[in-house]
Structure 1
């Protein structure tokens, strides 16, 4: 029998077509003269074919296979989408919307077929089937209860929840002209129904009833109410910038950091050999200074009154923005200054000469501490003033963490396989550091510097050029270069992509956050600055009038 395959439908196919019955019933007549009567009454199966005798099957009955079991299991389970892969950068919001659409379709389909609750949420929340069940009372109120008769007290029979699936009970109008046959009502279907005809003109109430209960309605009333009810609300993120500014001569260099936003709502941008200040409130633009060299980095002091500027010749200048005057010039580096970071009165600079210099702007010395940990250019520096820790990233793919201004690092992370420029400390959880790798790495990693272990890791699919940790929400914004020139919003600690912001046509190298924490400004090699409204303002916390009475109220 090698001619048969493993398909059960092929194995159970009769050898020839059965004869047509004359009396219209479903039983097929068999030719007489068979050697065994038991073979005529048996189900179709593999039988030996003998010359001169033909055996017909009474009907086609396929074998039960694993496909039937999978179908049965899918009926009792809720619809879901496969989780995104490790390198997927699909928006989490769009993914959740698609999942909700699948769940809605799954719930309505099961309600139309079975009319009963099949699944419950494991966390105790209201499922889609539960929402269909709860629409009964709203449908009754809509019809105006006085002109309608509810034939049963529930859409679902829950007297014996552990027994076999119960028959759904329908809400039917009292008019005879819209009465359904009992068999259709019992089956819970709304497709095969009929209406009686009489010589009277239907009333307005009857017409309203017919919109929901008559046979022309495509779905059951509870399903229709469920489809019209509002679904889950998702966070709305505007994916286009609300402002785009031309930034001619904005350098397209991975190691430069040329955009920073002050606490006084002043944006500083280095364009070629000039620096400009933009007041976000008024929109005024001020030309601050020029240089004969090239500006490579800049950073505002916490108070927003002074701006530190790094140059390609290794010098660091500090400008008083009120007086628009350079008040100090600090030496010490032999090559370009790629990164700057403030910790109160301490200014730390990193350079291509592989050195990190700590400078106290209150003393006349140019620097008081020199660190030579990295073997290549220092391209990332970020202070965490709350814990007094410094993180540095270099072109040697290393990340170091220092306690204060100590010369030796307390931690070393060497998992990245490309230059680490993007660094950010969590403003919500103490001791959490995020780092991003370059083109050959593309990884976004988070570390717990208190324990020294990695918390999470995700493949962004592109070069990580810069990074910001939001002050208002526990989310991270990364800007990317080769080969996806976009911004990505990540949820922490799940590290799911919440939104992808597109618009730049070159590497998004520069990134900064507004003073109120709501707006992100990105700068790219396409010589544009784009303003993205991503976050909402945090809600003001109501403080108790007295610490003692406030604590007493919490105890009560």
Structure 2
């Protein structure tokens, strides 16, 4: 149960989002390509509906079970509650400017500013278009750049037989050392560019894999299984060093980012269980031993299965998503109750903190929600929202662009894409990658950020997608160069120091401004 004194943010005002919108036209479908085998390269670089384990969030049909699924599913209805007229679903964004929403989130009363040396009142700026307002507020323009091309085809496809088509699993994990872990039935396989594919020894469990997670330094792989067991492995070893038992299957796990002053051998791990509990462990991992200490069992956040877990970039906050349609936000130093609880309209699996603004959290709802919401985690304010028309299965912020990538699974709408990239904060649709064929869905996706010998992030321009046709696909979405965060909104490159235009506010908000980096 959620504590009675916990602040719960309902989305009653979300009907306002449905009054204005931008039509997202479905891209032309590409021809279906043949199934590729391992490591084959391609040629080019509001009613609240309670989710249940029998809902589309629980099971997404594969090609050979479509007829069975159609007998069980409610079938295509007269669109959802937010689209009763039967028209194609549109992508809806708030009519306010981004600066107005940020001001509200931070508690600033912009109309109360008395030191304004101009004839027109400050509030009159809200009549300008978003682009005009951005430029008049605190931006300085630079020359326009062409819209960056993104290939509709994956740059690599790996065959993944027995990859489970289940919304409630996280069967991909990416290591900061460049290893990809994939859970196939009861086995786990590792892949990287140098060694190719290797298998984690399989003689230690016959239970299906339900979740995977690499530690911050990439030296520990946690494997969660449907019987509640979590195994801890080190690459190259032939047996798990540690096993922890829980009740029910483990759908998600999340390692806490390392604090620079903390010993490298100590790692914190969140484990999300089927019974709605979150287990907080400290894992001590040395070159020859491993031990676990249970720090906390969080049992007052969710009443049903934990679907998603995510830490912010410095490990001061984490978010949890559940099958009870709630997202809970915790401060890492106060685990007795959630700081804020946000209600959604379906199970929430997709959670992503912005890597260059730690107070910005994106959440993605399941098949009866289909929305991506953006929250300010210090105040709990809803900054923006977009109706995507599909079950959101993952969210990934770009480390080098002010953009966010979403993948989609089950959908009743006419939106045909399964991968999309949106600009922040305009939420303009920049990239739309279609499914190729109607039954193909994205189950989950991870980013490919690695760390170099100095501990600095490198890469991150490619996302890896687990697909319902038992393949794992690599898509090049962004350039990998560091040193700037670029804006992809309409091909215009704008430069300004920071996000809020204030060193003090950005220090409080956790804006990443290390070195000479500029957000542009």
Q: What's the TM-score bracket when you normalise by the shorter of the two chains?
A: 0.5 to 0.7
**SS of the counterpart of 1:376?**
coil
More strand by share: 2
Distance, in Å, in 2 between the alignment partners of 1:87 and 1:435 is 22
Ranges of 4+ aligned residues in structure 1 off by more than 6 Å: none
> 1:500 — aligned with what?
432
Shift of 1:539: 3.8
String of CA shifts for 1:206-225, please: whole Å, max 9, x gaps.
xxxxxxxxxxxxxxxxxxxx
* TM-score for the superposition, normalised by structure 1: 0.55
Distance, in Å, in 2 between the alignment partners of 1:293 and 1:387 is 31
Compared CA separation, residues 324 and 425, structure 1 to 2 (3 A) = farther
> 1:293 — aligned with what?
207
What pairs with 1:356-371 in structure 2 (closer than 5 Å)?
A: 356-362=278-284, 364-371=291-298
Shift of 1:467: 1.3
Larger radius of gyration: 1
**SS of the counterpart of 1:517?**
strand
2:400 to 462, 472, 476: 472
Structure scoring higher RCO (CA < 8 A, sep ≥ 6) equals 2
> 1:218 — aligned with what?
none
Distance, in Å, in 2 between the alignment partners of 1:289 and 1:467 is 31
> 1:487 — aligned with what?
419
Shift of 1:407: 2.4
Distance, in Å, in 1 between the alignment partners of 2:362 and 2:161 is 31
Q: Indicate whether 1:318 and 2:232 are aligned.
A: yes
Q: Indicate whether 1:447 and 2:359 are aligned.
A: no
Alignment check: 8 A CA contact 2:418 2:434 kept: yes
String of CA shifts for 1:416-446, please: whole Å, max 9, x gaps.
1000000000011121000000111101000
What pairs with 1:363-442 in structure 2 (closer than 5 Å)?
A: 364-372=291-299, 373-404=301-332, 406-414=335-343, 416-442=344-370
Distance, in Å, in 1 between the alignment partners of 2:417 and 2:146 is 29
Q: What is the number of equivalent residue pairs in this alignment?
A: 321
Distance, in Å, in 1 between the alignment partners of 2:464 and 2:146 is 27
Shift of 1:335: 0.3
Shift of 1:507: 2.3
String of CA shifts for 1:344-394, please: whole Å, max 9, x gaps.
410100011110000011284552200111011111100124151010000
**SS of the counterpart of 1:536?**
coil
Alignment check: 8 A CA contact 1:485 1:506 kept: no
> 2:178 — aligned with what?
265
Distance, in Å, in 2 between the alignment partners of 1:379 and 1:397 is 10
Shift of 1:232: 6.5
Alignment check: 8 A CA contact 2:371 2:385 kept: yes
More helix by share: 1
Alignment check: 8 A CA contact 2:26 2:417 kept: no
Distance, in Å, in 2 between the alignment partners of 1:237 and 1:294 is 35
String of CA shifts for 1:311-338, please: whole Å, max 9, x gaps.
101111110113243111012x210000
> 2:391 — aligned with what?
463
Distance, in Å, in 2 between the alignment partners of 1:420 and 1:251 is 19
2:24 to 88, 103, 112: 88
Distance, in Å, in 2 between the alignment partners of 1:255 and 1:89 is 29
Compared CA separation, residues 395 and 86, structure 1 to 2 (3 A) = farther
2:216 to 289, 302, 308: 302
Compared CA separation, residues 236 and 304, structure 1 to 2 (3 A) = same
In the alignment, structure 1 segments of 5+ residues that lack a partner are: 1-83, 92-121, 124-230, 542-550, 552-556
2:272 to 330, 350, 367: 350
**SS of the counterpart of 2:148?**
coil
Alignment check: 8 A CA contact 2:313 2:358 kept: no
Distance, in Å, in 1 between the alignment partners of 2:354 and 2:190 is 28
